[in-house]
């Protein structure tokens, strides 16, 4: 199992410590995405049919639509799978219901009104595997926020079908319509609208490089939840941590993608040695061992736990697992992380599926300023000013002075004409 090992000084000098979402290496893909988005904007469904046939191997025949019914899907999956989806949905809904906000804050004449967007468009990947958990994690917060229309786009199979688990999750989460379109063309269709697909106000959900580049391309025409890089986990551990637990959590994240990140930060060289041994033994027996071996696995050995915490804050990981002494105190003190998992039993997969908090998180250092997907992703705010004559007199002189300072005479006049 290839593991890159560092002390803190060599880690900070390494470009690995400064990973970022770098799309400069994808100039060809970006040019293709720009062309796809422009084509969908110009030709709507006609472009979608041609692009679907080209990239997904399927396009709706005459009389067919991109939409697919979700109702029958619950009977097409195992009862145990349905129960697991419903269990996860209940917990996700309960947690996100805590995020509801007051519609109006402020005084009577100055306030901020918070309302949901009208339509949300969600993307559910369907490349290497289908992810019904992503449907739950995006659609349920949108519904809790009060979004009136929630739609999902997902790549179809070559026969036009969609994985029943995706459709079942959509039904459980209260999705209105599932559209059989994938890739950049799906993002463009949601952002711009076509003859049969409504233009949405927010696009959310992860995807491959084409989806990521398309979200960048359409941003401004539509809101997006964020630009996601490869998934990542940092484990902050000390000498008393079980090495097999650490190895298990690193492998669980690395199996997602050859570009994924798994980083152990510790103050114990002995633990570092034992985790490397456990990883090598574990990975040999895993189905996705090839992907894990290609991914970015690093160990950083710090002088003490305080220096290790500094490394974590600088890296700003998507997932952070804290398994140290005083884990509660340390975990709650971390400023830069998308989600913090505290203690040896808070393994990240529990958060991926059933704990309740969202698994769509800021990556590539965006946890320095970004937040998990949530109810707020589908809310927008409007400021309200209901001013009277007394307010005009109170604010007028300073307003006119500032307008004239900036050379905006018409602004000053709009105030003065009301005071004459």
Closest CA to 379 of 147, 67, 46, 83: 147
Q: What is the DSSP string of 353-412?
A: HTSSS-S----TTGGGT---S-GGGGEEEEEEE---HHHHHHHHHHHHHHHHHTT-HHHH
Beta strand 177-180 with 67-68 is: antiparallel
- Verify whether residue 411 is a known catalytic residue: no
CA contacts within 13 A on the Cβ side of 144:
24
Buried b / exposed e over 257-270, threshold 16 CB at 10 Å, is bebbbbbbbbbbee
Q: Count CB atoms within 10 A of the CB of residue 320.
A: 28
Instruction: Map residue 224 onto helix, strand or coil.
Output: strand
The active-site residue out of 318, 376, 393, 420 is 318
| Complete edge-to-edge strand list for the sheet that includes strand 296-301 | 4-7, 296-301, 261-266, 232-237, 319-323, 339-342
Q: Are 378 and 360 in contact (CB under 8 A)?
A: no
Q: Are 133 and 353 in contact (CB under 8 A)?
A: yes
- Verify whether residue 319 is a known catalytic residue: yes
The active-site residue out of 306, 319, 393, 420 is 319
Q: How many helices (H) and strands (E) does the chain have?
A: 16, 15
Q: How far apart are CA 274 and CA 289, in angstroms?
A: 19
Q: How far apart are CA 124 and CA 163, in angstroms?
A: 11
Instruction: Map residue 296 onto helix, strand or coil.
Output: strand
Tokens linked to 154: 């997902």
Query: CA 167, 172, 173: angle at the middle one, nearest 5?
Result: 95
Tokens linked to 81: 């799978």
CA contacts within 13 A on the Cβ side of 396:
15
Query: CA 231, 236, 237: angle at the middle one, nearest 5?
Result: 135
Q: Which residues belong to the active site?
A: 318-319
């Amino acid at each position: 199992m290839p593991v890159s090992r560092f002390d803190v000084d060599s880690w900070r000098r390494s470009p690995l410590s400064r990973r970022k979402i770098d799309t400069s290496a994808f100039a060809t893909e970006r040019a293709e995405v720009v062309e796809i988005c422009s084509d969908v904007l110009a030709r709507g469904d006609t472009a979608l049919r041609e692009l679907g046939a080209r990239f997904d191997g399927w396009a709706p025949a005459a009389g067919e639509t991109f939409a697919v019914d979700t109702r029958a899907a619950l009977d097409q999956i195992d009862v145990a799978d349905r129960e697991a989806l419903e269990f996860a949905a209940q917990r996700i809904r309960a947690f996100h219901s805590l995020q509801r906000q007051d519609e109006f804050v402020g005084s009577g004449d100055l306030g901020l009104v918070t309302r949901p967007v009208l339509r949300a468009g969600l993307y559910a990947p369907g490349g290497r595997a289908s992810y019904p958990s992503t449907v739950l994690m995006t659609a349920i917060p949108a519904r809790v926020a009060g979004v009136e229309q929630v739609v999902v786009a997902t790549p179809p199979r070559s026969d036009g079908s969609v994985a029943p688990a995706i459709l079942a999750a959509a039904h459980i989460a209260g999705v209105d319509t599932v559209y059989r379109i994938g890739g950049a063309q799906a993002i463009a269709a949601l952002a711009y609208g076509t003859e049969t697909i409504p233009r949405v106000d927010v696009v959310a959900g992860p995807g491959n490089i084409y989806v990521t580049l398309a979200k960048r391309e359409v941003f401004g025409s539509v809101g997006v939840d964020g630009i996601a890089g490869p998934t990542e986990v940092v484990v902050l551990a000390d000498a008393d941590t079980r090495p097999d637990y650490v190895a298990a959590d690193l492998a669980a994240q690395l199996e997602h993608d050859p570009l994924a990140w798994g980083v152990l930060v510790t103050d114990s060289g002995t633990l570092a040695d034992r985790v490397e041994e456990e990883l090598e033994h574990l990975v040999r027996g895993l189905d996705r061992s090839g992907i894990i071996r290609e991914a970015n696995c690093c160990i950083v050995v710090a002088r003490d736990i305080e220096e290790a915490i500094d490394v974590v804050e600088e890296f700003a990981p998507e997932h952070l697992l804290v398994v140290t002494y005083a884990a509660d105190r340390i975990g709650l003190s971390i400023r830069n992380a998308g989600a913090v998992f505290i203690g040896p039993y808070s393994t990240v997969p529990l958060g991926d599926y059933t704990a309740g908090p969202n698994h769509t998180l800021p990556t590539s250092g965006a946890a320095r300023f970004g937040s998990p997907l949530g109810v707020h992703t589908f809310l927008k705010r409007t400021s309200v000013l209901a001013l009277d004559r007394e307010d005009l007199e109170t604010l007028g002189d300073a307003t006119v002075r500032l307008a004239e300072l900036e050379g905006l005479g018409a602004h000053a006049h709009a105030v003065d004409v009301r005071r004459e």
